[in-house]
Every structure is written in C-alpha cells, then in structure tokens.
Amino acid sequence: MGYLEKYNEWLESNEIDENTKENLRLIKGNNEEIKDSFYKELEFGTAGLRGIVGPGTNRMNKYTVGKATQGLANYIIKNNAQNKGVAVAYDSRNMSEEFSKLACLILNANGIKTYRFKSLRPTPELSFTVRELKCVSGIVITASHNPPKYNGYKVYWDDGAQISYPVDEEITKEVNAIVNYSEIKQIKEEEAIEKGLYNEIGEEIDNKYIEYLKTISLNPEVIKKQAKNIKIVYTPLHGTGKKLATRILKELGFSNVYVVKEQAEPNGNFPTVSYPNPEDPASFELALKLAKEVDADIVIANDPDADRIGLHVKDSKTGKYILFNGNMIGLTVADYLINQKRVKGMLQENTALIKTIVSSNMTDKICEKNNVALFEVLTGFKNIAAKIKEIEEKDSYKCIMGYEESYGCLVGDKVRDKDGIAALMLLAEAAAFYKEKGLTLWDNMLKMYETYGYYKEKQLSVVLEGADGAEKIKSIMEKVRNNPPKQIGEYKVLKFRDYLKGIIIDMKTGKNYHQNLPKSNVLYFELENDFWCCVRPSGTEPKIKFYMGVKGNTLENANNLVEKLTEDMKELVK
C-alpha cells in the first residue's frame, strides 16, 4: 500500500479519532509531509521507537505508542512475567507525560502492574528502578538529545538495560504482528487503580538512587575540604536533571553550584537552544556566560533525559574554558576511578572496563598500565550492558566502568545505561581531588596525554531527514561497503571490517576472513600508524555518522591529523 493510500485509510478509519483526522486534513495536498508521515511504519528499532510527534504511521502518536506497548504486553504475558510489573518514566518533551500514562494503562488493561513516576525523571533512574523493584521491564518516554519535534519510547528488560538480542527481536515480532489498532487493549485509570495495577512512585526511589550514588564516591573527605573552593555551573538544558544533580552535589558538600536559570525548568520546546545536546558547543552558550561571571572551575550540562553529560573546564593558565569531548570525559572518569581504586587497594584483579569500537584507543593504554581487562563492543549502551551481564554471569570479571564517545558513562553496578548524574558527581569529585593538588581537570588531561600518548578522535554527523534522506544514507553505506578503499587520504587501509556481513578483509592480500562479529550496519577501517575510521547510520536519528581516531606526537599534531583525516573521510562519500 502506498503512502497516499495509507493517509486516506487513516482519514476513513473508525479506529482513528476525530482530532487526529482533523490534523491530517491540515496537511492535505502537502505531498512531502504526507509521504514522510506514511511512507513506512515507525520502526521498533534500537530498544524502541523514536520519531517526530504527529499523526501517521511514521510518527510518534498514541497509535504507534499503543501498538508498541501492546506488543510488549503480549511478549510479557507469553513469558508469564506480568506479575513482576513494569516501571515507567518520562522526560520533559512534548507529549512525554501523555505517552507514559497511555503506556501504563495499556499494560494495565493486559493485567500487567505498572510503577509510574509522578513527575519527570532521568533515564538512568528508570534503569535503577527496574532493578530495585525487580520489574520484568521498563519504559522511558524520551527522545534524549534530539530536536524538539521528536519524542521516543525506550524499552528496558529485567537487568535494567535496554532490550538486546534476542529479546529485542522477539518483542519486535510481537509489535509487528499487530495489524489493527483495535487490538490495543484499554482500561480507565480509575479501574486500573482500583485493581492495584496502576501505581505511582517518586521520592522513595529518589532517596535510594541518591544513596546508591554516594557509594560510588571515592574521596568524600577531599570533597569536604575543597567543596567551598570549587565553583560548578550546571544546566539541565530544560530537562530532567536539575532535581537529582543539585541534590547529590549538595549532599556531598559542594556549596558553590550555580544553575543556569534560563534553562533550569523543564520545557519541551527547549527555547534557549536549537538542539538540546551537550555534544553541541552552542548548547553551552548561557552556561559559559554564567561561568565567566562567577569564575567557575567546571561547567556541566545534561541532555533532557540526563543520560548524557557535557563538560567545559577552565584552563587556569589562559582563563579559557576548554570543551571536553565524550572520549575525554570517559577517559577522565576512567583514569580517576582506576587510579584511586588502585591507590586505595580497592582495584580487584578481575576488574574490567568496557568501551565501544569508536571510543578512544587511549583507554587501552590506561587498562594495560593498571592491569585492567578491556572489552570492546559495538556502539550503544545496550551492548555495553549486555557485555556486563555476560561477564557477571560467567563470574569472570567485575566491571568498573563502561563508556562510549557519545558523552555517556556507566559506573557502579545498579544502573545499566549511561548515567549523566553519576558522571556529573564523579567529575565534580575529580575536580575537587585535583584542585587539592593544584591541578585542574585540563591539567590532568594533559598529564594523561603525556603518559599514554596524544590520542585524538572526532565525530562527524550528516543529517539526512525524511524518506529521501533514508535512501541517501542507504546509498552511501552500499557504496562504501561494495567498494572499500585501499587508502583514505595518505594512509593505507590495513583491514576493513564489515559488521553486517561478518567479514574482515585484509586489504593488502585481498583475503576475506569470516568472523563471528556482532551483526550491525557498521563499516570499520584499520589504518596505518594506529589510525582508524568508522561509518554507520545512527540507530536513533536521521543521520549517518563518521568517526576518526589518530595518535600524534604532540597535542597540536594530533589535532591537525584528526582534522585532515576528517576531510579525507568526507571525500570518501562524495
């Protein structure tokens, strides 16, 4: 069925409410908008849904959310797990509150108990809650760092991690098996409460999460000594982070915490930024203005659901604020955790760290020096969480930390997703620790470069929206996959990994080696001089992403090399 036929079907269907039909009539004659709204079903992909809010099969609305929830309910019932319950949270985005209530009532209509937060909460707290309440699953309504017109629906399983193989595929089958929206079960809130199916949670979970965070802290005595000397500027970017971020900092003793007032309160329109993403330097404009006014040591931002974290650090020599990318943040936390645990005699022999394939190779050197095992997984925190579960079940290693270059860290054993609140706490603690030694976090980063090597990475994202954009992304991937270059810029390609086909090609000999690589639409190039490149479509946004990594002789040299390699990658896909 074509997109125009689907559009007309919705207009004529008894299953679609009149308000939705009225919104559809508003786009009548707008062929491009109709096409993008109906050319496909909104895919239940990377742990759930993500899309533009609006009417249509390719949009986030009560019908697509309802279909996803009914599919999840059917899977839970097939596994006789309905009595364990589902935890539900939501962020500050438009329609998040409504979608979260809808998901609960659909689950309740299927006899499944729910625990919904009374008000918005960070994604990492949802992961914590699933484990704390021993739920079978969790749902968080969020589109993370996407532009305002987006929302999303992320599903977690009983280990507190985003669903991964084979659960993700089995739930997807259940979702896709729903043909008619009339199959989505319904119940009134009053009836669900009366039956004990709909339950609200809040402060009691906050208290437990905060106490858990305190157990991760390694130098509380240093915080008490330096708390008045450290100045922290914080922004939740109109999202969920403020309540818990300011609380944990206050309870640890930090007294000079300045919140960006223009961005302090939740707002799904994100009026002060075009893109509420701490990866984007522009999102720090107001925070840096405040930092200069109060002479802050560090400037921290969370994205709307507070799983990601961004960081600027003042350079005491120049007075300028230096942006830390996701790798620098992850490396700073890893170096602090590992070294402090080693000094305190807390670093166990079976300690492991997990990173993704596009994260910094400096991680390898830190682990080598400290005798920490290193595991590498595909991008996405669900893959990090799956590896944690695997090594825990084998009782082989204890994970000290997981991180990825996209501004996410996981620390401790009670959260199975990136945790921007825990990362914020540790970065503030590390800043206090190094300040006592007369150093800034940037000074320590320079020492890490001197110790481990001048590693530098960069990511380039190209946004290609709509049906035409999706086709363009597909075309780029096929072009590179079918004609892998033997050289990128001035550097020879040593090996080419195609994770979708499960092969590694030795570019010198041309031999193909079938490997047991995890399946994903990812292409990876091993280059000379310990350089590397990678290209993949985003699993959550209409983007194709390019990653580059180099090692230089100096910091300036490394910066120049990674910029040159980025330009070379652009040429590859023209």
d(CA 100, CA 95): 8
Q: Which 8-state DSSP code applies to residue 171? A: H
Residue 208 CB: number of other CB atoms within 10 A? 16
Peptide bond into 147 cis (omega under 30): no
Query: Can you read off the two tokens belonging to residue 571?
Result: 């040429």
Residue 354 CB: number of other CB atoms within 10 A? 27
Residue 496 CB: number of other CB atoms within 10 A? 20
Query: Can you read off the two tokens belonging to residue 104?
Result: 């609960």
Residue 40 CB: number of other CB atoms within 10 A? 15
In DSSP notation, 21-84 reads HHHHHTTTT-HHHHHHHHSS-----SSEEEEEBSSSTTSBSHHHHHHHHHHHHHHHHHTT-TTT
3-state helix, strand, coil in the chain (%, to 5): 40, 20, 35
Indicate the SS3 state at residue 103.
helix
| Given 92, 144, 164, 360, the catalytic residue | 144
Determine contact, residues 108/197, Cβ cutoff 8 Å: yes
Phi/psi at 352 (nearest 5 deg)? Answer: -135, 150
Question: Is 1 exposed, middle or buried, given 0-12, 13-18 or 19+ CB atoms closer than 10 A?
Answer: exposed
- Residue 144 known to be catalytic: yes
d(CA 65, CA 102): 8
Indicate the SS3 state at residue 238.
coil
One-letter identity of residue 283: S
d(CA 419, CA 410): 6
Lookup result for tokens 């990475």? 457
One-letter identity of residue 61: N
Question: Minimal CA–CA distance to 260: which of 301, 312, 229?
Answer: 301
3-state secondary structure 466-516: HHHHHHHHHHHHHHHHHCCCCEECCEEEEEEEECCCCEEEECCCCCEEECC
- Which residues does the annotation mark as catalytic? 144
